[in-house]
Structure 1
Amino acid sequence: MPVDDDLILDAAVDELRDYGLKRTSVDNVARRAGLSRATVYRRFESKNVLVQAALVRESARFFGEIVAAIGPLPTAEERLVEGFVVGLRKVRTDALLTRLLVSDPEELVPYLTLRGAGVIAAASEFLVSQYAEVGGTMTRDPHVLAEMLVRLAISFTLTPDGSIAVADDDAVRDFARGYLVPLMS
């Protein structure tokens, strides 16, 4: 019987949420999924690959929640502003990310930076698709702008304290209107 990757990824996310990156093991993920260790390793060659896959999938879910919030907005500019606000709010309240930032920041940071290509690519493609959906036109490459926005959001996530009050939706909204929207022209 074929193994559903979602079964393994669900178990991995649950392990990460309960125990953090350091204490999560492929053995524990396999046990939680009701599978053998070898079966998990056949699908994901290492713990690193498994964690990356889990984070990419969770990113896709995260973006689905953002789409639900910004879907009714008619313009790319409005979607950018509200998407940035909703995204930063969700980052601050997401149980998995909060757990990992508190318990294992030294383990999490590489998955968002040095080993973050998958998460950055998935998030960037999401932004480009949202822009295309509203038929936006810009003189700049939307892929480059999307990647810049994702990298900026990661920076705010990892270092929330600064001149911009990321816990204040109105402050984030003002920042996005004043600094991010002009990048679209």
Structure 2
Amino acid sequence: MATSLDALLPEPQVDEVSVRILDAALAEYLDHGLRRTSVDDVARRAGLGRATLYRRFASRDELIQAVLVRESRRFFTEINDAVQSQPTLADRLVEGFVVGLRNARKQPLLGRLLQSEPEFLLPFLTIHGGPAIAIMRQFMADQYRQSPEYRPDTGVDPDQFAEILVRLSMSLVLTPETCLPLETDDDVRATARRYFLPLLRQW
């Protein structure tokens, strides 16, 4: 993998029982939301005792965090896999934006929380969104730096450039109404090439 997700998002426990718990928790959150899901609900759905669950995840909040981290890792892994086969830095930028926007729009848990419990999620993406932005910015900046075309003497700061794209992408996910043509992957690809690639002209 081109960038280490372990440094940005440490992987939750992956033993068989922990995976069952995380799968059950995700299913409960999708069906009932975070507020209405208890530890007992998750344990019951996983077919495990409450004590077994607590041996892996010490609290309800720790379990929620583990599910969110696992879903975030899946999100970034799909973007990473999509850009690795792209031959140029410009192609990496475009395809990363396409896959990222598509997956964010279709991510089941993100969509569920934005619809039913925005008061839980929105602070972590807006007024308290610094840590989330930092993770996404670092991931994208690493992709750019590891491109064979990248040259550090151009005056373009990958972190600053990545942050511009991250903030734009978050805005499009949280407020999808737009005059930009973004209905299909081809629309997103064309828009990215038209408006974003000029920012890379120094590379």
Query: Which band: TM-score by shorter chain?
Result: 0.7 to 0.9
Identity %: 49
User: Secondary structure, in 3 states, of the residue corresponding to 1:139?
Assistant: coil
Query: Which residue type is aligned with residue 111 of structure 2?
Result: T
Matched, 1:174 2:190: yes
State the shift of 1:132 in Å: 2.4
In the alignment, is the contact (CA less than 8 A) between 1:92 and 1:157 conserved in 2? yes
Structure 2 residue ranges without an equivalent (≥5): 1-12
Question: What is the RMSD computed on CA atoms of the aligned residues?
Answer: 2.9
**1:109-128 matches, cutoff 5 A:** 109-128=122-141
Secondary structure of the residue aligned to 1:163 is coil
Cα pair 2:89 2:144 within 8 Å, conserved? yes
Larger Rg: 2
Query: Structure 2 matches for 1:3-82, cutoff 5 A?
Result: 6=19, 8-33=21-46, 34=48, 36=50, 40=54, 43=57, 47=61, 50-82=63-95
Distance 1:102 1:65 in 2: 24
Judging changes above 3 Å, is the alpha-carbon distance between structure 1 residues 69 and 23 closer, same or farther for their aligned structure 2 residues?
Answer: same
2:186 maps to amino acid: D
Unaligned runs of 5+ in 1: none
1:3–1:123 Cα change, 3 Å: closer
Q: Retained in 2: the 8 A contact 1:165–1:171?
A: yes
The residue identity in structure 2 corresponding to 1:100 is: L
Q: Equivalents in 2 of 1:62, 1:129: separation in Å?
A: 16
Tell me the matched-pair count.
183
More helix by share: 1
**Could you state the TM-score of these two structures normalised by the residue count of structure 2?**
0.73
What TM-score results when the alignment is normalised by the length of structure 1? 0.79
What residue identity is the alignment partner of 1:81?
Answer: V
